[in-house]
């Protein structure tokens, strides 16, 4: 069985070990959550790599004696002991079994299903197309269950933070309704989170890129003149972000840190740059200038307010509902260790993440076409306008303008852009010039 998993897992969108060689796949735990035909098992597997590291993943695998229906053929892993094995998230029978356990608050061996609200177990489930780091199941357009794929033993920041904010009455998160815990390496770990499905909402990335497309279509008009101007939304998003940060500071740990915090930050940014340089030689040209920016951070003596943050904040992590902006996915960057993702840090990291995302949204229609100077100018104008609107909204909500912390903010933006270059070099080399151009601009501003 693990042989089948080893061949199948590298092709999954959520698999984080791409580019590394798998040397082993072992079962950490396996629980039958539906004992019928198909039989559905929830597995935690440990994937070992040739560099000695390993990662845990959650799998839902179904097996059947019969032939699988045609619509499930794409989900097949292969045959094991005379039974066909497939990825169960695509089978409504399996998604129903999960919802049933959540609605009933069942204990199934070491799996604990817990609910905080009545759940309608009869809603039909389907897998959400827009898969990112995890797999989400949508039930009757009313509920969404996020099945965490990559697992790290211990408290999952997504449920921890979202629940703290929802309990404190924030209108900017989707309230956790139910969840299930299992064990990873013996430690209790949240494996899935059920929230209301925000029907009819649009994600920030689609809205922002639609606005950019409108602008390109109106060749003679400026960003503030076209119908699809996004600045009002950007400002509201900034305000929502500021309100969420403020509430996180109240209901989760926070601290005022001294100069050692700035030194540690500079050290961390330098280390990440060192690692990125090994993957992206094109960064070398800007390395000295970036390090100079990090040095300025290291010599900062002013206090830094640190707190829990979102950790992976960009336009794809926010939804615009009829009522306003909702922030999703407080998991942090799944590739980073849990201790780092739960660490207290400057909320400017999130601000920097969103500012980078505005740049990306502006550039993304241009990334794969031949350069057109008029459109590049338009794209930059759009990005500047929306970045400023976001900061205006944020400043109004928290009472302090992030742009006044220019040194720290720029260092965090550079760090994000460095991370993006690694991602692009590995996944979409033709896009590499987007973060590289931003790095050029940021170090130019600093000079």
Ligand X SMILES: Nc1ncnc2c1ncn2[C@@H]1O[C@H](COP(=O)(O)OP(=O)(O)O)[C@@H](O)[C@H]1O
User: Residues interacting with Mg ion, by CB under 5 A?
Assistant: 132, 329
Q: Which is nearer to ligand X, 43 or 166 (CB)?
A: 166
Q: What is the CA radius of gyration of the chain?
A: 23
C-alpha to C-alpha distance for 117 and 176, rounded to whole angstroms: 9
Chain centroid to CA 148: how far? 12
Q: With binding defined as CB under 6 A, does residue 198 bind ligand X?
A: yes
Residue nearest to Mg ion (CB): 329
C-alpha to C-alpha distance for 300 and 347, rounded to whole angstroms: 17
Q: With binding defined as CB under 6 A, does residue 183 bind ligand X?
A: no
Q: Which is nearer to ligand X, 13 or 372 (CB)?
A: 13
Min CB(407)–ligand X separation in Å = 30
Min CB(130)–ligand X separation in Å = 5
Contact mark string toward ligand X, 282..321, x via CB under 6 A: ----------------------------------xx-x--
Question: Degrees (nearest 5) of the Cα angle 254, 255, 257?
Answer: 145
Min CB(58)–ligand X separation in Å = 12
C-alpha to C-alpha distance for 218 and 374, rounded to whole angstroms: 12
Min CB(98)–ligand X separation in Å = 16
Q: Which is nearer to Mg ion, 148 or 179 (CB)?
A: 148
Min CB(323)–ligand X separation in Å = 13
Q: Which is nearer to ligand X, 8 or 197 (CB)?
A: 197
Size, binding site for ligand X by CB under 6 A? 21
Question: Degrees (nearest 5) of the Cα angle 225, 230, 231?
Answer: 85
Q: Which one of residues 195, 270, 293, 386 is an interface residue with ligand X (CB under 6 A)?
A: 195
Q: With binding defined as CB under 6 A, does residue 329 bind ligand X?
A: yes
Please count the other Cβ atoms lying within 10 Å of the Cβ belonging to residue 309: 27
* Closest listed residue to residue 208, CA positions, set 361, 369, 2: 361
Q: Which is nearer to Mg ion, 28 or 329 (CB)?
A: 329
Q: Which is nearer to ligand X, 201 or 263 (CB)?
A: 201
Q: Which residues contact 24 (CB under 8 A, 6 or more apart)?
A: 6, 46, 47, 48
Min CB(203)–Mg ion separation in Å = 9
In b/e form, how buried is each residue of 37-58, taking b as 16+ CB within 10 angstroms? ebbbbbbbbbbbeeeeebbbbb
**According to CB under 6 A, which residues from 116 to 135 bind ligand X?**
128, 130, 132-134
C-alpha to C-alpha distance for 29 and 24, rounded to whole angstroms: 15
Min CB(389)–Mg ion separation in Å = 23
Segment (H or E) for 233: helix 231-251
Min CB(13)–ligand X separation in Å = 9
Min CB(296)–ligand X separation in Å = 33
Q: Which one of residues 146, 286, 300, 378 is an interface residue with ligand X (CB under 6 A)?
A: 146
Q: Concatenated DSSP letters for 401-446?
A: -GGGGHHHHHHHHHHHHHHHHHHHHHH-GGGTHHHHHHHHHHHHHH
Q: Concatenated DSSP letters for 240-297?
A: HHHHHHHHHHHHS-EEEE-HHHHHHHHHHHHHHHHHHHHH-GGGHHHHHHHHHHHHHH
Q: Which is nearer to Mg ion, 315 or 439 (CB)?
A: 315
Q: With binding defined as CB under 6 A, does residue 255 bind ligand X?
A: no
Per DSSP bridges, beta strands 254-257 and 143-147 are: unpaired
Q: Which is nearer to Mg ion, 14 or 49 (CB)?
A: 14
> Is residue 306 a contact partner of residue 255, using CB atoms and an 8 Å limit?
yes
Q: With binding defined as CB under 6 A, does residue 338 bind ligand X?
A: no
230 binds, among Mg ion, ligand X, none (CB under 5 to 8 A by kind): none
Min CB(268)–Mg ion separation in Å = 23
Stretch that binds ligand X, among 114-122, 249-257, 328-336, 359-367 (CB under 6 A): 328-336
151 binds, among Mg ion, ligand X, none (CB under 5 to 8 A by kind): none
In b/e form, how buried is each residue of 398-436, taking b as 16+ CB within 10 angstroms? beeebeebebbbbbbbbbbbbbbbbebbeeeeebbbbbb
> Is residue 233 a contact partner of residue 207, using CB atoms and an 8 Å limit?
yes
Q: Which residues would be at the binding site for ligand X (CB under 6 A)?
A: 128, 130, 132-134, 136, 144, 146, 174, 195-198, 201, 203, 316-317, 319, 328-329, 331
């Amino acid at each position: 069985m693990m042989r089948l998993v080893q061949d199948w897992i590298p092709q999954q969108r959520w698999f984080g070990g791409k580019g590394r060689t798998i040397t082993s796949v072992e079962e950490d735990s396996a629980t039958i959550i539906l004992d019928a035909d198909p039989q559905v098992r929830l597995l935690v597997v440990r994937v070992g790599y040739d560099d000695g590291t390993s990662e845990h993943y959650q799998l839902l695998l179904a097996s059947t004696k019969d032939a699988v229906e045609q619509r499930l053929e794409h989900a097949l892993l292969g045959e094991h002991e005379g039974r066909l094995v497939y990825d169960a998230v695509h089978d409504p029978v399996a998604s129903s079994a999960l919802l049933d356990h959540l609605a009933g608050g069942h204990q199934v061996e070491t799996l604990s299903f817990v609910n905080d609200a009545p759940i309608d177990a009869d809603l039909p489930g389907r897998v959400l197309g827009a898969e990112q780091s995890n797999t989400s199941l949508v039930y009757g357009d009313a509920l969404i269950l996020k099945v965490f794929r990559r697992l790290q033993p211990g408290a999952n920041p997504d449920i921890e933070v979202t629940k703290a904010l929802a309990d404190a009455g924030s209108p900017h998160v989707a309230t956790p309704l139910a969840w299930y815990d299992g064990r990873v390496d013996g430690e209790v770990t949240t494996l899935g989170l059920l929230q209301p499905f925000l029907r009819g909402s649009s994600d920030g990335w689609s809205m922002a890129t639609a606005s950019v497309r409108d602008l390109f279509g109106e060749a003679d008009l400026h960003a503030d003149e076209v119908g699809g101007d996004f600045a009002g939304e950007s400002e509201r998003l900034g305000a929502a972000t500021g309100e969420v940060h403020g509430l996180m500071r109240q209901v989760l740990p926070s601290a005022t840190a001294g100069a050692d915090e700035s030194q540690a930050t500079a050290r961390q940014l330098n280390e990440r740059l060192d690692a990125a340089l090994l993957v992206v030689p094109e960064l070398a040209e800007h390395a000295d200038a970036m390090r100079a920016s990090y040095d300025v951070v290291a010599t900062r003596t002013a206090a830094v307010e640190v707190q829990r943050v979102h950790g992976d904040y960009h336009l794809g992590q926010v939804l615009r509902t009829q009522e306003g902006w909702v922030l999703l996915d407080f998991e942090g960057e799944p590739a980073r260790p849990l201790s780092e993702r739960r660490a207290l840090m400057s909320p400017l990291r999130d601000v920097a993440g969103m500012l980078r995302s505005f740049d990306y949204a502006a550039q993304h229609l241009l990334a794969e076409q031949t350069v057109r100077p008029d459109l590049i100018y338009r794209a930059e104008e759009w990005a500047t306008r929306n970045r400023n609107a976001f900061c205006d909204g944020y400043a109004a909500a928290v009472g302090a303008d992030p742009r006044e912390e220019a040194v720290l903010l720029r260092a965090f933006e550079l760090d994000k852009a460095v991370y993006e270059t690694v991602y692009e070099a590995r996944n979409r080399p033709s896009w590499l010039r987007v973060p590289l151009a931003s790095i050029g601009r940021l170090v130019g501003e600093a000079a």
